[in-house]
Structure 1
Amino acid sequence: MRTRLSAWGLGGHLRRLLGVRLGRLHQHRPQPMSVTAIGFAGDIGGLPRISLVTPSFNQASFVGKTIESVLSQGYPDLEYIVQDACSNDGSAEILGSFDGRPLEIHIERDSGQADALNRGFARTSGEIMGYLNSDDLLLPGMLHTVGTYFRDHPEVDVIYGNRLIIDEQGREIGRWILPGHDGQVLRHIDYVPQESMFWRRRIWDKAGSRVDAGLRFAMDWELILRFADAGAVFRHVPRLIGVFRVHGAQKSQADFVRHGAHEIGTLRRGSYGATQGKMARLLHHGRFLYAHRIADAAFDKALKQGESI
């Protein structure tokens, strides 16, 4: 029931009153993106191969921008797979315009997003893995940030960063600045920006080498929970990495109430169990959101002062 109430907007109103951005997609009126270029200065020697998959179906309005945001990274060892489920909206022509560029495009029917991801990942060989939906973006230089972090922290299995949120026209409407990784909170609610998450193949293999094709809404959280159960070492990288696009063609709120809430509720009960009482969980979550507000205020100050973000 709590998940359904959040889906109907009650949770969003409370977060707005408390000044909490996490969990909210529409935060302010559309404005030009506050971050359009992020430089990378560092040693690029010995960077690991990154395998990135983009599943797509009828996203002609956005898929070209998504692909360009990846290819323009200039990452020296990138394996990029686009899985299109036989789109009929002109996507084929857009994908064809990338002929000769360093990516693989596979057009074949699948049984949904998770199946497309599994097909794409089965074609990859990189040490580092991740996926970017066909309406989202990577900020410039972020694959270098990802590759460098994994190279310099061999003990880490999974990383994720912060996100910007944009509308259909590419105008900024919000951001999620996380305060750091909290394994307890993650077992209760998924705040990880999916488009900013990357992981090592070793933990992918240990956790079953698949995305759960039986899920429509919570497949990324379910994968995260399996990573955690497999003993993954998580780190939050305090950088903007991904851009999440909100638009009318996404899965509807009605679908979420009907299907997504059930998926999330099932995962929450299975992952949390009786390890923490309700009051203790609420207090822990509250402390996490307070830390988020502090991190968000620091980000805002750095943005106004033109510091590296």
Structure 2
Amino acid sequence: MTMPRLSVVIPSYNQAAYLAETIESVLGQGYDNLQLMVIDGGSDDGSVGIIERYRDVLDVAISEPDGGQTEAINKGLMRADGDLVTWVCSDDTLLPGSLDAVAGAYVAAGRPAWLAGRCQQMDASGVLLGVEPRSEGITLRDALLRSPERPFAFPQPGVWWDPKLHRSLGYLDASLHYCMDFAWWLRLMSSGYSPVTVEAVLATYRMHEASKTCAQPEGFIREHLRVERFYARRLSLRERWRVFRRTAYQYRSAELARVSGRPWSSVVRRPWWLLSQQVRGRLWAGDASCSLAA
């Protein structure tokens, strides 16, 4: 039996410290029916030399200025010819055996439109940390009406889908730079495609100071709110209000955390926040003696 063809897109920009490790994590699995693409945004840190070193074994190798990570990923998705595709950021890795696991789960499940496995966090030096949570039995409604304590979670390097879906649903939203994956999952669900969940841990997700997840959390929050409120229009009026309240609280909580020890400085600029019992509770439980100076 011919194994499913798997397409992997590696978007990269100035990640020479990790790029070779990411490429090797894919090639080193010895999966025969593979399409591997590296899409670089015109790096100037030595990444181009690494790409040249692997050019003979890459199906697509591009290094040119682009509009950011989402545009780079879309370049790869447009060239994907596999049964399934994913992208792996150039500071993340696929775990040994993950390609065989994906192919096996795909065939066993009757070749579904998309599937979601698990991911493991990794620190900057490559030490493996905990396995990230992954939501189960998710629909669009479930994803949007989740509680802050049990958020919707499909760690991106563990998710694979049929690239032909892009022909009818379009490509990633290039206006998004932080949660384009989250927006794509919601687009799939809103179009009637339910994911098959896979228990295998398929990839690692590296946490380091330069990663967008760690360095720019506010960007993630703003985009998540925008995306969630867009898809909430498909819910009832009452459910939309629930989404609005939760996302507003998440934004307020992020603002309070961002000011690091001076939550009152955020509230004093937005006194209407005090109408929220949740915000008042956070303030009283925290450092209520902070200066009120902005």
Please report the TM-score for the alignment, with normalisation by the length of structure 2. Answer: 0.74
**What amino acid sits opposite 2:163 in the alignment?**
R
**What amino acid sits opposite 1:186 in the alignment?**
A
Q: Does 1:265 align with 2:261?
A: no
Unaligned runs of 5+ in 2: 146-150, 247-294
- Structure 2 counterpart of 1:23: none
Structure 1 stretches of at least 4 aligned residues deviating more than 6 Å after TM superposition: none
2:4–2:103 contact (8 Å) kept in structure 1: yes
- Structure 2 counterpart of 1:34: none
Question: Which of the residues 88, 95, 106 maps onto 1:132?
Answer: 88
2:10–2:38 contact (8 Å) kept in structure 1: yes
- Structure 1 counterpart of 2:154: 192
**What amino acid sits opposite 2:169 in the alignment?**
A
Question: Which of the residues 50, 59, 66 maps onto 2:22?
Answer: 66
Question: Which of the residues 175, 178, 181 maps onto 1:220?
Answer: 181
C-alpha displacement at 1:246, in angstroms? 0.5
1:203–1:232 contact (8 Å) kept in structure 2: no
CA distance in 1, matches of 2:48, 2:39: 11
**What amino acid sits opposite 2:6 in the alignment?**
I
CA distance in 1, matches of 2:3, 2:20: 26
2:115–2:160 contact (8 Å) kept in structure 1: yes
3-state secondary structure, aligned to 2:45? coil
Deviations 1:96-133 (A, max 9, x none): 22243244211111100111011112222112111110
1:69–1:138 contact (8 Å) kept in structure 2: yes
Question: Which of the residues 61, 66, 88 maps onto 1:110?
Answer: 66
C-alpha displacement at 1:60, in angstroms? 0.5
- Structure 1 counterpart of 2:252: none
3-state secondary structure, aligned to 1:162? strand
C-alpha displacement at 1:254, in angstroms? 6.6
- The structure showing larger relative contact order (alpha-carbon pairs under 8 Å, at least 6 residues apart) is 1
1:46–1:151 contact (8 Å) kept in structure 2: no
Q: Does 1:201 align with 2:163?
A: yes
C-alpha displacement at 1:270, in angstroms? 2.1
| Closer, same or farther: CA 93–222 of 1 in aligned 2, 3 Å | same
| Closer, same or farther: CA 216–69 of 1 in aligned 2, 3 Å | same
CA distance in 1, matches of 2:169, 2:125: 38
C-alpha displacement at 1:85, in angstroms? 0.9
1:132–1:195 contact (8 Å) kept in structure 2: yes
C-alpha displacement at 1:51, in angstroms? 1.2
Question: Which of the residues 191, 195, 203 maps onto 1:242?
Answer: 203
CA distance in 2, matches of 1:101, 1:201: 22
| Closer, same or farther: CA 186–249 of 1 in aligned 2, 3 Å | same
C-alpha displacement at 1:253, in angstroms? 5.4
1:127–1:200 contact (8 Å) kept in structure 2: yes
**What amino acid sits opposite 2:185 in the alignment?**
I
CA distance in 2, matches of 1:252, 1:223: 18
Q: Does 1:79 align with 2:38?
A: no
Give runs of aligned pairs for residues 1-309 of structure 1, distance below 5 A: 45-154=1-110, 156-178=112-134, 180-183=136-139, 184-188=141-145, 189-208=151-170, 210-251=171-212, 255-257=216-218, 259-273=219-233, 274-275=235-236, 276=239, 278=242
Higher-helix-fraction structure = 2
Unaligned runs of 5+ in 1: 1-44, 283-309
3-state secondary structure, aligned to 2:16? coil
Tell me the number of residue pairs that the alignment of Structure 1 and Structure 2 aligns: 235
CA RMSD of superposed structures (Å) = 2.2
